[in-house]
């Protein structure tokens, strides 16, 4: 099957900065894929090259098999991009903006679909409002609508929820999820790791222009310590036998690292032997944020 | 509608929505030139022996407005889109660089013609004019506005800030138009300045345009038209090459 996105050995330099240092990625059709990394890791550069907004120094990039340089018309038709910056054209209303955007893709009679997207994004009431008069959240919705006018099979969202309120964020994710269920491939970049964890089935982590982790979200989370035990004891000191397990201590509460539930019993036994009493106990599971922080620390970039 | 058609429509709608500023204002400004200069120069000997100065002035002013507005349209549209970031709306779709080029330049031609016709119509209320060769009038107006639209496109692509476009306009376009024979026949100039004027491509556009009205000119209009279209071809090649390379638009 033709991959939705195929990125092979892509290098890109901006002056002295090596923005991308040999990226390889493949995203299958229908995936919900996350692209994570700190600022400056190269996420937006990857997206810009996909969209034809930037050109790779070397390597090849394809969208549904169409090379983004040689067959740029086909690759751009296959791609819908929601940009990171909150941009708009102050000369036009919401409906004009969407009609014009359709026209750029050669779609003349697109009003039914435009109405449907506006409905899903709660924009119907603002259809004839000038772009200038919209709030930031509304402008963000129009950007999403603009990316969808040509029903692209592959949708890229570059930090679409930055500075967006909770209600819109949830509405947006519900909509994007439904698009994914209808078969659209979704590529998402975000700084909200909970969001990535909840939505993305597979994740690539970038650091300084390289892919430093690439796996399914569940494998990424499970490949580390399996769980944490948060303990508060009557004694201020932790039994020395447990010292090796300590991940962190704050205000008399200690977080211990465990491989599995089977180790819980041993830990409790050691607490009992030391004559201490448990005042509080909680089992915690590592989340994507823990994994992210750890991978970014380990990766040399 | 094709991508090209939509981009052209969008560019036309853009200046039409602010027509007071993009059409009415330049028409008024040009009329002020006409009123002041024709008053000050009253009693001056007719140009070419037969053309009253005020009548001589009108085609020059029309062409100057055409050239300046063609430049302003493409350059201001592009720099605004670049500064505000909404240029991505035209970079993401499958528009070819030909579509892009033709839409911006044609929209500039249309705005320039609208201003030119506006100036001409209002001038007719004050000054009697002949229209000796209407096709030549049109040919020079088209070539001139297309050249300046293309230069505006190039300036808009090159510039990163508004003041850079303004500098292009003030230090290149304005001197070239003012010194191209808008207000005088170059035969009234000292020999050195006559020679220098012949290196100004804008001179041929205005001189040929004027020929369309009066049937007389400083230079053979066929030569002027040739020079205008060669200039257009050179500018077009440069604009297309920039767009194809992605210069300052696709990094």
Q: What is the pLDDT of residues A60-70, one digit of tens each?
A: 999 999 999 99
Whichever domain contains A242, its CATH number is: 3.30.70
Let me know if residue A272 belongs to a domain. yes
* Residue B17 touches chain A, beta carbons under 8 Å: yes
What is the Cα gyration radius of chain B?
A: 18
Beta-carbon neighbour count of residue B175 at 10 Å? 12
User: Is B189 or B134 the better-scoring residue by pLDDT?
Assistant: B134
Strand ranges, E, within chain B: none
Which element (helix H / strand E) includes B225?
helix B221-245
* Residue A77 touches chain B, beta carbons under 8 Å: yes
Q: Is the pLDDT of residue B196 over 70?
A: yes
Beta-carbon neighbour count of residue A300 at 10 Å? 7
* Residue A87 touches chain B, beta carbons under 8 Å: yes
Q: Is the pLDDT of residue B37 over 80?
A: yes
Chosen from A71, A89, A146, A147 to mutate, greatest number of chain B CBs within 10 A: A89
Point out the least confidently predicted range of A79-88, A158-167, B235-244: A158-167
Q: What is the mean pLDDT of residues B152-171?
A: 95
pLDDT confidence bin for A253, thresholds 50/70/90: confident
Q: Is the pLDDT of residue A43 over 90?
A: yes
pLDDT mean across residues, chain A: 90
Q: Do residue B251 and residue A54 have CB atoms under 8 angstroms apart?
A: yes
CA B229/CA B235 separation, integer angstroms:
10
pLDDT confidence bin for B227, thresholds 50/70/90: very high
pLDDT confidence bin for B80, thresholds 50/70/90: very high
Q: Is the pLDDT of residue B194 over 70?
A: yes
Domain housing A10: 1-78+154-161+178-220+287-301
Q: Phi, psi at residue B49, to the nearest 5°?
A: 80, -25
Task: Count structural domains, chain A.
Answer: 3
Sign of CA pseudo-dihedral B148, B154, B159, B161: positive
Let me know if residue A17 belongs to a domain. yes
CA B33/CA B39 separation, integer angstroms:
10
The per-residue pLDDT for A224 is: 61
Q: Are residues A91 and A191 in the same domain?
A: no
The per-residue pLDDT for A102 is: 96
Q: Do residue B13 and residue A74 have CB atoms under 8 angstroms apart?
A: no
pLDDT confidence bin for B75, thresholds 50/70/90: very high
* Total count of residues recorded for chain B: 251
The per-residue pLDDT for B186 is: 84
How much of chain A exceeds pLDDT 70, in percent? 98
Let me know if residue A167 belongs to a domain. no
A187: alpha, beta or left? (left if phi > 0; alpha if psi -120 to 50):
beta
Q: Phi, psi at residue B48, to the nearest 5°?
A: 55, 20
CA B84/CA A85 separation, integer angstroms:
10
Q: What is the mean pLDDT of residues A209-224?
A: 86
The per-residue pLDDT for B1 is: 54
Domain ranges of chain B: 3-38+52-245
Q: Are residues A59 and A147 in the same domain?
A: no
Q: Is the pLDDT of residue A160 over 90?
A: no
Q: Are residues A104 and A61 in the same domain?
A: no
Question: Which member of A81, A91, A102 has the closest CB to residue B92?
Answer: A81
Q: Can you state the angle between helices A111-120 and A94-104, rounded to 10 degrees?
A: 130
Q: Is the pLDDT of residue A24 over 50?
A: yes
Q: Do residue A105 and residue B3 have CB atoms under 8 angstroms apart?
A: yes
Nearest Cα residue in chain B from A80: B92
- CA–CA distance from B150 to each of A134, A180, A289, B15, B243 (Å)? 34, 43, 52, 17, 12
Q: Which of A246-250, A285-289, B107-111 has the highest mean pLDDT?
A: B107-111
Model confidence pLDDT, tens digit, residues A171-197: 889 999 999 999 999 999 988 888 899
The per-residue pLDDT for A301 is: 47
Structure tokens at B217: 């000119």
What is the Cα gyration radius of chain A?
A: 24
B140: alpha, beta or left? (left if phi > 0; alpha if psi -120 to 50):
alpha
Let me know if residue A200 belongs to a domain. yes
A74 contacts in B (CB within 8 Å)? 94
The per-residue pLDDT for B44 is: 79
Let me know if residue A168 belongs to a domain. no
Q: Are residues A235 and A293 in the same domain?
A: no
Q: Are residues A7 and A47 in the same domain?
A: yes
Q: Is the pLDDT of residue A259 over 60?
A: yes
Model confidence pLDDT, tens digit, residues A144-153: 999 999 999 9
CA A25/CA A40 separation, integer angstroms:
18
The per-residue pLDDT for A300 is: 65
The per-residue pLDDT for B228 is: 95
Q: Are residues A133 and A202 in the same domain?
A: no
For chain B, helix (H) and strand (E) counts, in that order, are 12, 0
Q: Phi, psi at residue A191, to the nearest 5°?
A: -95, -10
Q: Are residues A102 and A215 in the same domain?
A: no
Closest CA to A144 of A167, A160, A122, A166: A160
B6 contacts in A (CB within 8 Å)? 100, 102-104
């Amino acid at each position: 099957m033709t991959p939705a996105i195929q990125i092979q050995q892509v290098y890109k330099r901006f002056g002295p900065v090596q923005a991308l240092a040999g990226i390889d990625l493949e995203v299958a059709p229908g995936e919900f894929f996350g692209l994570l990394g700190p600022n400056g890791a190269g996420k937006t550069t990857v997206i810009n090259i996909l969209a034809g907004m930037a050109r790779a120094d070397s390597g090849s990039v394809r969208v549904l098999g169409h090379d983004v340089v040689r067959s740029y018309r086909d690759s751009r038709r296959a791609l819908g991009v929601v940009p990171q910056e909150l941009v708009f054209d102050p000369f036009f209303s919401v409906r004009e903006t969407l009609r014009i955007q359709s026209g750029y893709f050669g779609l003349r009679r697109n009003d039914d679909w435009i109405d449907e997207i506006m409905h899903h994004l709660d924009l119907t009431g603002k259809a004839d409002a000038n772009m200038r008069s919209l709030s930031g959240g509304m402008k963000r919705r129009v950007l999403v609508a603009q990316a969808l006018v040509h029903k692209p099979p592959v949708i890229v969202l570059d930090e679409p929820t930055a500075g967006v309120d909770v209600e819109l964020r949830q509405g947006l994710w519900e909509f994007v999820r439904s698009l994914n269920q209808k078969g659209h491939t979704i590529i998402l970049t975000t700084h909200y790791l909970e969001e990535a964890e909840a939505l993305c089935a597979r994740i690539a982590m970038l650091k300084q222009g390289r892919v430093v982790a690439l796996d399914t979200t569940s494998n990424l989370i499970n490949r580390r310590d399996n769980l944490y035990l948060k303990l508060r004891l009557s004694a201020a000191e932790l039994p020395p036998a447990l010292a090796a397990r300590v991940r962190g201590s704050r205000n008399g509460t200690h977080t211990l690292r465990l491989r599995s539930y089977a180790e819980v019993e041993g830990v409790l036994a050691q607490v009992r032997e030391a004559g201490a009493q448990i005042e509080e106990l909680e089992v915690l599971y590592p989340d994507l944020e823990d994994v992210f922080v750890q991978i970014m620390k380990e990766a040399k970039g | 509608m094709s991508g090209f058609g939509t981009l052209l429509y969008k560019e036309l709608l853009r200046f039409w929505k602010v027509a007071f500023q993009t059409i009415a204002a330049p028409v008024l400004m040009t009329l002020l030139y006409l009123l002041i200069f024709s008053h000050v120069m009253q009693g001056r000997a007719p140009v070419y022996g037969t053309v009253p100065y005020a009548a001589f002035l009108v085609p020059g002013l029309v062409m100057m407005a055409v050239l300046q507005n063609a430049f302003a349209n493409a350059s201001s549209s592009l720099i605004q889109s670049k500064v505000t970031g909404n240029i991505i709306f035209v970079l993401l779709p499958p528009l070819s660089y030909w579509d892009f080029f033709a839409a911006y330049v044609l929209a500039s031609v249309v705005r320039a013609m609208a201003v030119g016709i506006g100036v001409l119509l209002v001038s007719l209320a004050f000054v009697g004019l002949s229209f000796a060769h209407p096709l030549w009038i049109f040919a020079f107006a088209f070539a001139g506005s297309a050249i300046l639209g293309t230069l505006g496109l190039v300036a808009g692509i090159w510039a990163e800030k508004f003041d850079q476009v303004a500098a292009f306009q003030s230090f290149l376009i304005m001197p070239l138009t003012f010194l191209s024979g808008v207000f005088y026949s170059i035969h009234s100039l000292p020999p050195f300045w006559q020679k220098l004027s012949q290196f100004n491509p804008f001179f041929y556009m205005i001189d040929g345009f004027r020929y369309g009205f009066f049937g007389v000119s400083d230079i053979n209009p066929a030569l002027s038209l040739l020079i205008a279209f060669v200039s257009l071809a050179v500018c077009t090649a440069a604009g297309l090459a920039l767009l194809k390379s992605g210069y300052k638009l696709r990094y």
